[in-house]
């Protein structure tokens, strides 16, 4: 920790300088130029019709989950009761029995050429593991339950309408089979260090499992690829994005709207956000039945895709044959033409002066003179502006205190935070649903009707299905392989027992939490005041906050606390995922461990203090790229999972 403090003290001036001068934006732009090819490749979409495209990663995740569901005879339903019983401790007695034969031991654990007589000694340590079934579940849940459940659901419903909820639930249910498969393998092929530390996850079942099948080189290559991507994902999506969004939520909650002229006297030389619409010329590159695609003139990296309704509504004018500007009708004849679009924009700067009817704002590299009438009502100030690095330091210290202790310390924190924050969130949702009990049948009616008709939604029912599947897959990460790292540390000698526990994860994350959010959004949007179905919302967390806040005035404060706790728990879990991958590549010495954990804590500060969108996009792409080596391994090792399931089922018959 002392080394981290020294590094932070040296780099803090840089964070402040970067915020003032916009260096982070320059770095982000350069990084984006070099990594755009990778991000575009991972999130590339396969066109199905003129107006519908499907991300290829979504196809792999959903089809894989469906295959595993059928292969294991709908274990997501048939095994649900067993999973609950395991978490309750009903089968704990079988963990202590000494009734295995040498044939059983050799069949299950002779991985690296071990002789049967030594396997028993190794397994005595392995049975202990590091955490309980419940702690392993909460540690994995803490990495998946978060902003995706709050903001992502709002985005999915805004695009796909209420019907997206139905397909979200279906995708969550089939994703349970993927979690069962990968987490069973995670426990089966884990390794135990001399000090009892558990090392597990796709890196190990890819290398060791495929070696058993005579695919040593293939397994090694896939394991290394997975580890590299997991490390990148842990620093970005699992770290910087979390701290950035947590601070943004706190900053948003503390904002005060500047409405009266008297307020201007109190904000001289203060930092403010000014929201305005910027008129820019765009070249139209593509027009479909439901969307219009545009690129900013002279800047190909700045592109927009707008729904037809949004395109027609938001102050857009185009040149006609006579060269004059008119409101355009949407048709393919627009392609190649030019439009002026009023793009919502935020300017962050300092109030330098108020002269007459004008306000002068100075930003990092530019300034604006704004009419006082426009400034009032569209400007907000917050006492936290510019203090992202302070928030980052606090979060970094808290994260550091937890992650230095390893998975045992992480599990002790997550098994308290996760039930608490999920419980509070679900209770708030239930209170609102109770207040509108009579409207629940109507909400479910909209969900079922919209799932199969898709009225008013781009792409119809198929477009609704894609939005639901996308939100579920991107929320619970079933098939990515990350959760198996946390589940590998469980105390058990039956690998499939943790596979059963893991299948509860998508159910809680997607079927329970996401559905609760969706119902509140649909009921609150009965008059269309929250969102317009078919038009994508950009700030999902703000929409969800508005929906809950319209029923419970104090909820925005609860949501702010929840987002910070979600972010904190996600960071500590992803630190464990990243370290496991790091140790696989660089060894398990204390020096190697502290280097990774020190860097991780440093990136917490960077995430809160800087705006690094391209860096986070790249790391998100790395997280979803993890599915490639992982899914290959899952398919090849399915017979091993089947054996472990049969072995566990035989054991619990004796209870």
- CATH of residue 645: 1.20.1740
Name the E strands within 213-270.
Answer: 256-257
Per-residue pLDDT tens digits for 508-552: 878 888 888 889 888 888 777 777 777 666 666 778 888 888 888
- In the prediction, which pLDDT does 582 show? 92
If we measure between CA atoms, which residue out of 134, 129, 138 comes closest to residue 191? Answer: 129
For residue 474, how many C-alpha atoms fall within 13 Å in the half-sphere facing its CB?
24
Let me know whether 322 and 223 are in one domain: no
| Percent of the chain predicted with pLDDT > 70 | 67
- Report yes or no: 102 and 116 within 8 Å, Cβ to Cβ: yes
- Report yes or no: 491 and 130 within 8 Å, Cβ to Cβ: yes
Check whether 17 has a pLDDT greater than 60.
no
- In the prediction, which pLDDT does 513 show? 83
Let me know whether 543 and 450 are in one domain: yes
Let me know whether 14 and 155 are in one domain: yes
For residue 305, how many C-alpha atoms fall within 13 Å in the half-sphere facing its CB?
10
Per-residue pLDDT tens digits for 254-279: 666 665 555 655 655 566 767 777 77
If we measure between CA atoms, which residue out of 71, 113, 137 comes closest to residue 422? Answer: 137
User: For the chain, what is the largest distance between any 2 Cα atoms, rounded to a whole number of angstroms?
Assistant: 90
Let me know whether 272 and 221 are in one domain: no
Most confident of the following: 48-62, 151-165, 225-239, 294-308: 225-239
pTM to 2 decimal places: 0.74
Per-residue pLDDT tens digits for 327-362: 777 777 778 778 888 776 766 666 777 777 777 777
The rounded mean pLDDT for the chain is: 75
- In the prediction, which pLDDT does 250 show? 77
- Give me the domain span that covers residue 366: 257-381
Let me know whether 166 and 179 are in one domain: yes
Check whether 171 has a pLDDT greater than 80.
yes
Of the residues 333, 358, 381, the one at which a domain ends:
381
Let me know whether 197 and 294 are in one domain: no
Of the residues 360, 381, 402, the one at which a domain ends:
381
Let me know whether 364 and 401 are in one domain: no
Name the E strands within 202-313.
Answer: 256-257, 271-287, 291-296, 299-307
Under the banding of pLDDT at 50, 70 and 90, the label for residue 634 is: very high
Q: What are phi and psi of 529, to 5 degrees?
A: -80, -20
Let me know whether 409 and 353 are in one domain: no
String of DSSP letters for 63-130: HHHHHHHHHTTSHHHHTHHHHHHHHHTTTGGGGG-----HHHHHHHH--SS--HHHHHHHHHHHTT-S
Let me know whether 406 and 377 are in one domain: no
- Report yes or no: 372 and 359 within 8 Å, Cβ to Cβ: yes
Let me know whether 444 and 412 are in one domain: yes
Token pair in block for residue 1 = 């920790």
If we measure between CA atoms, which residue out of 345, 27, 77, 392 comes closest to residue 244? Answer: 392
Helix (H, G, I), strand (E, B) or coil at 429: helix
Average pLDDT over residues 570-586: 87
Under the banding of pLDDT at 50, 70 and 90, the label for residue 69 is: very high
Sole residue written with tokens 């290394």? 224
Average pLDDT over residues 136-148: 65
Check whether 221 has a pLDDT greater than 90.
yes
Check whether 458 has a pLDDT greater than 60.
no
- In the prediction, which pLDDT does 443 show? 87
Per-residue pLDDT tens digits for 85-140: 888 877 777 766 554 444 444 444 444 444 333 344 344 444 456 667 677 676 66
Let me know whether 33 and 149 are in one domain: yes
Of the residues 381, 399, 421, the one at which a domain ends:
381
Let me know whether 210 and 352 are in one domain: no
Report how many domains make up the chain: 2
């Amino acid at each position: 920790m002392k080394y981290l403090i020294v590094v932070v003290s040296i780099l803090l001036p840089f964070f402040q300088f970067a915020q003032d001068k916009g260096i982070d934006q320059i770095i982000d732009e350069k990084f984006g130029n070099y990594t755009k090819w990778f991000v575009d490749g991972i999130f590339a979409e396969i066109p199905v019709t003129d107006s519908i495209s499907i991300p290829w990663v979504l196809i792999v995740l959903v089809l894989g989950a469906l295959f595993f569901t059928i292969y294991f005879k709908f274990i997501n339903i048939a095994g649900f009761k067993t999973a609950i019983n395991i978490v309750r401790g009903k089968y704990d007695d079988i963990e202590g029995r000494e009734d295995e034969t040498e044939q059983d031991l050799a069949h299950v654990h002779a991985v690296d050429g071990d002789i049967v007589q030594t396997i028993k000694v190794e397994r005595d340590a392995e049975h202990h593991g590091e955490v309980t079934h419940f702690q392993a579940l909460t540690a994995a849940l803490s990495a998946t339950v978060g902003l995706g459940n709050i903001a992502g659901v709002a985005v999915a419903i805004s695009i796909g309408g209420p019907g997206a909820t139905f397909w979200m639930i279906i995708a969550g249910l089939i994703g349970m089979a993927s979690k069962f498969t990968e987490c069973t393998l995670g426990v089966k092929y884990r390794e135990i260090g001399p000090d009892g530390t558990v090392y597990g996850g796709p890196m190990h079942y890819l290398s060791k499992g495929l070696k058993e099948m005579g695919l040593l080189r293939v397994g090694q290559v896939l394991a290394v690829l997975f580890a590299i991507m997991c490390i990148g994902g842990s620093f970005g999506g699992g770290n910087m994005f979390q701290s950035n969004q947590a601070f943004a939520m706190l900053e948003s909650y503390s904002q005060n709207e500047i409405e009266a002229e008297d307020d201007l006297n109190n904000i001289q030389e203060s930092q403010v956000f000014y929201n305005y619409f910027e008129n820019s010329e765009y070249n139209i590159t593509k027009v479909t039945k439901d969307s219009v695609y545009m690129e900013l003139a002279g800047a190909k990296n700045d592109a927009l895709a707008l729904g037809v309704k949004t395109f027609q509504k938001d102050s857009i004018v185009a040149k006609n044959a006579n060269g004059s500007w008119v409101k355009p009708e949407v048709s393919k004849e627009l392609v190649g033409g030019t439009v002026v679009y009023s793009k919502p924009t935020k300017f962050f700067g300092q109030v330098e002066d108020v002269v007459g009817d004008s306000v002068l704002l100075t930003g990092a590299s530019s300034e604006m003179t704004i009419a006082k009438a426009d400034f009032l009502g569209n400007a907000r100030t917050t006492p936290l502006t510019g203090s992202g690095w302070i928030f980052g330091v606090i979060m970094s210290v808290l994260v550091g205190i937890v992650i230095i202790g390893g998975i045992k310390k992480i599990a002790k924190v997550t098994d308290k935070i996760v039930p608490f924050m999920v419980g509070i969130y679900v209770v708030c949702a239930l209170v609102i649903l109770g207040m509108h009990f009579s409207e629940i049948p109507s909400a479910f009616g909209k969900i079922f009707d919209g799932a199969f008709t898709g009225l008013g939604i781009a792409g119809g029912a198929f477009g609704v299905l894609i939005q639901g599947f996308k939100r579920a897959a991107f929320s619970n990460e079933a098939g990515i392989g990350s959760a198996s790292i946390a589940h590998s540390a469980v105390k058990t000698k039956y690998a499939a027992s943790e596979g059963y526990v893991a299948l509860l994860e998508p159910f809680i994350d997607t079927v329970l939490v996401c559905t609760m959010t969706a119902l509140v959004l649909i009921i609150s949007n009965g008059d269309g005041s929250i969102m317009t179905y078919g038009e994508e919302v950009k700030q999902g967390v703000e929409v969800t906050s508005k929906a809950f806040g319209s029923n419970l005035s104090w909820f925005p404060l609860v949501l702010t606390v929840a987002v910070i706790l979600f972010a904190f728990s996600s960071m500590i879990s992803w630190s464990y995922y990243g370290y496991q991958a790091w140790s696989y590549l660089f060894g398990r010495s204390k020096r190697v461990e502290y280097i990774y954990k020190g860097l991780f804590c440093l990136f917490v500060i960077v995430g809160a203090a800087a705006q690094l969108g391209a860096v986070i996009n790249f790391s998100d792409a790395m997280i979803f790229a993890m599915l490639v080596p992982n899914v290959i391994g899952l398919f090849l090792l399915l017979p091993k999972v089947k054996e472990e399931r049969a072995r566990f089922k035989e054991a619990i018959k004796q209870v």
